[in-house]
Amino acid sequence: MTENPSIWQRCKVWFHRWGSPAWFYRTSGYIIPWLWGLCFILALPGLYLGLFVAPADYLQGDSYRIIYIHVPSAWMSMMIFALMAAFGLIGMVWRIRIAETMAICSAPIGAAFTLIALLTGSLWGKPTWGTYWQWDARMTSELVLLFLYIGVMALYQSIDEPRKAARSASLLALVGLVNLPIIHYSVQWWNTLHQGSTIKLDIGESSMDTSMLIPLLLVVAASKFYYAAVLLSRSRGLLLQQDQHKRWPQELWHANKADPT
Amino acid sequence: MTPTRKRRLYLFLSLFAGVSLAVAIAMYALQDNLLYFQSPSDVVSKQIASGEKFRLGGLVQRGTVKRDPQTLLASFDVTDGKQTIHVEYQGILPDLFAEGQGVIAHGRLTSDDHFVADDVLAKHDETYMAPEVADALERAGHPVKKKISDSEPPVTTTPDSSAG
């Protein structure tokens, strides 16, 4: 018990360091290559196994393979929204600038994943269901998620003062959080065209062959590292742009010129 | 936490709770409109009038699919295990249309248990299997849905217990 406070203190200090743009810029620079590495190490075998090695489905044939893009994207579209709202809440309550930056930089990544989920779902829907689009609860709520992402980005762009803009956009993200349980439970609460979840996290076995499931889980894990890497890169860029006339970027530049390693 | 931060935190959390409550109430009120399709039991219990357009969803009863060899006319029974409604459809059925498979038909009732569809969609379930596994299940005596195109003479079996 005597050790705990010091570890706690150290964690706290380490955590607070991330609040400094200079520290954030430098440290994330070291981490990003590792995140990309992990992303590729997981994504390449995942996609190869999924697209070439896994057996075809007994009913859908090869068209089911779009699941290796669709499901990771759909999950990421929701996870990123939740994280964006969490970063936003931290930014709004504690006024930590890095949290605001990360919330804003999450929006385009999440919107891209949402768009991919909608498009791949629509392409899969035509051969499977016989239609590209139907207004069922799952598809409609996912489309609303895309509009929420666009709303967050538009709100941020429409306010000149960046920190005020970030907090306003975060408020929209927080309110939009209501949509996430609706998307997730839509297939259970209402009759929908979209089927229920194949991979059950809470109860029961997943209704998928292991040989099909493993590549899917690899791609899902890879997508998390992709998000982390892109989020940190975008945040670095935004911080650098906003702080271009401040001292830390100039010091960084001079330090790099002196020691280019 | 400083008082200002605490106040802000509570403000945002209560805002979120308020919005959630409002959305929950709206969803509850709109419940029926959010249903994408009605099951045969719904049709019976809600006494949907004939001529009214709606979507009927359920499983295609095994052994009931009939096709007119001259035209595109197809007929089959849609069931949810409790009630069954006979469906007629003129047009191209989706690839995944199969006996025992979920299906959604958009159209209207012509009598209490007779439905004419303008549009038929296949509803896919969440099961993904390799063909060999499906064959093995079939051999072990578990009926697995089959595409109509490669089905042998239809055998009448009990419909799956789950509806969709």
Compute CA distances B161 → A258, B48, B79, B143, whole Å: 73, 25, 10, 12
- Domain-wise residue ranges, chain B: 1-34, 40-150
Residue A124 has pLDDT above 70, yes or no: yes
Cα distance from N-terminal residue to C-terminal residue, chain B: 50
Residue B154 — pLDDT band, cuts 50, 70, 90?
Answer: very low
What is the predicted pLDDT for the residue at A3?
56
Give the DSSP H/E element, type plus range, for residue B139: helix B131-139
3-state class of B9 per DSSP?
A: helix
Tokens encoding B33:
């409109």
Spatial distance between the Cα atoms of A60 and A130, rounded to a whole number of angstroms: 12
**pTM as predicted:** 0.85
Chain A residues within 8 Å of chain B (Cβ atoms): 55-60, 64, 67, 89, 92-94, 127-131, 134-137, 171, 174-175, 177-178, 182, 189-193, 195-198, 207-209, 211-212
Residue B138 has pLDDT above 70, yes or no: yes
Q: Do B37 and A137 lie within an 8 Å CB cutoff?
A: no
Tell me the average pLDDT of chain A.
Answer: 90
The answer to whether the CB of A46 falls within 8 A of the CB of A218 is yes
What is the predicted pLDDT for the residue at B157?
41
Residue A183 has pLDDT above 90, yes or no: yes
Closest CA to B114 of B60, B163, B43: B43
Q: State CA A118 to chain mean position distance.
A: 15
Interface test with B, best of A53, A81, A193, A200 (most B CBs within 10 A): A193
Tell me the average pLDDT of chain B.
Answer: 81
The answer to whether the CB of B35 falls within 8 A of the CB of A190 is yes
Residue A211 has pLDDT above 50, yes or no: yes
Say if B103 is an interface residue toward chain A (CB within 8 Å): no
Closest CA to A92 of A28, A4, A171: A171
3-state class of B63 per DSSP?
A: coil
Q: Do A174 and B15 lie within an 8 Å CB cutoff?
A: yes
Q: State CA B64 to chain mean position distance.
A: 17
Interface test with A, best of B9, B21, B34 (most A CBs within 10 A): B34
CB–CB contacts below 8 A, A to B = 122
Enter the DSSP assignment of B128: B
State the alpha helices, DSSP H only, in chain A. 4-17, 21-48, 67-94, 97-129, 137-158, 162-176, 179-189, 210-242, 247-258
Show Cβ contacts of residue A84 under 8 Å, excluding neighbours closer than 6 positions. A103, A106, A107, A110, A152, A170, A173
Show Cβ contacts of residue B138 under 8 Å, excluding neighbours closer than 6 positions. B144
Chain B residues 54-93 with CB within 8 Å of chain A: 57, 93
Interface test with B, best of A100, A124, A129, A138 (most B CBs within 10 A): A129
Other CB atoms within a 10 A radius of the CB of residue A47 amount to 17
pLDDT digits (tens, 9 = 90+) for B16-73: 999 999 999 988 888 777 778 888 988 888 888 888 889 999 999 988 899 888 888 9
The answer to whether the CB of A72 falls within 8 A of the CB of A112 is no
Say if B128 is an interface residue toward chain A (CB within 8 Å): yes
Say if B20 is an interface residue toward chain A (CB within 8 Å): yes
Other CB atoms within a 10 A radius of the CB of residue B113 amount to 15
pLDDT digits (tens, 9 = 90+) for B74-133: 999 999 888 899 999 998 888 888 888 889 999 999 888 889 999 899 888 777 887 777
The answer to whether the CB of A253 falls within 8 A of the CB of A120 is no
Q: Do B20 and A56 lie within an 8 Å CB cutoff?
A: no
Tokens encoding A67:
């699941």
The answer to whether the CB of A111 falls within 8 A of the CB of A150 is yes
Tokens encoding A134:
């139907």
pLDDT digits (tens, 9 = 90+) for A55-79: 888 888 888 899 999 999 999 999 9
Interface test with B, best of A59, A123, A144, A179 (most B CBs within 10 A): A59
* B34 neighbourhood in chain A, CB within 8 Å: 137, 189-190
For B40-150, CATH number? 2.40.50.140
pLDDT digits (tens, 9 = 90+) for A12-21: 888 888 888 9
Nearest to A130 among B37, B38, B122 (CB): B122
Q: Is the ipTM of this complex over 0.85?
A: no
Give the DSSP H/E element, type plus range, for residue B131: helix B131-139
Closest CA to A58 of B139, B137, B141: B137
